[in-house]
Amino acid sequence: MIHQIMDLKNGKSVLCPVYDFSLHTRSERVIEIQPKPIILIDGILIFAEPRLRQLMDMRIYVETDADERILRRARRDMAERGRDLDGIIEQCLATVKPMHNKYVEPTKAYADIIINGGLNDRAYDLVKNKIQSNLR
């Protein structure tokens, strides 16, 4: 990913692997991503890798209430990934919650901006203005 971000920043297109959530692994598919003036990187562990953080001009952490995260996950996993509620609960208690607390939550310390549950209009305005400024 680090090399792909560097390539995009240098004006080169990249082939991005597509993850298959039902199989818990990468699929055979890839998508081509073209370089653009603004590159948005999304992911729960993007701040964990120092070399990746160094490539970012702005780091935004979206903090969402734990209950809301679990409910969204349950809905998505049942609707899109064919999982049942018992399996989702087991996975959340065994791995999702402990791994979030150990690996994801601490990375918010690397954020320039923390947007609380998507309810922070000032933060959105700040991000929008920064992006517009970079596009000029």
Mean pLDDT of 10-29: 89
Contact yes or no for 38/131 (Cβ under 8 A): yes
Mean pLDDT of 100-128: 87
82 pLDDT above the threshold of 80: yes
Model pLDDT, residue 46: 94
pLDDT band of 118, cuts 50, 70, 90: low
Q: How many CA atoms lie within 13 A of 21 on its CB side?
A: 9
- Residue whose pair of structure tokens reads 């305005």 in the numeric block: 125
The token pair at 26 is 């990468």
Residue 16: CB atoms within 10 A of its CB come to 14
Model pLDDT, residue 20: 84
Q: How many CA atoms lie within 13 A of 131 on its CB side?
A: 13
Model pLDDT, residue 2: 95
pLDDT band of 26, cuts 50, 70, 90: confident
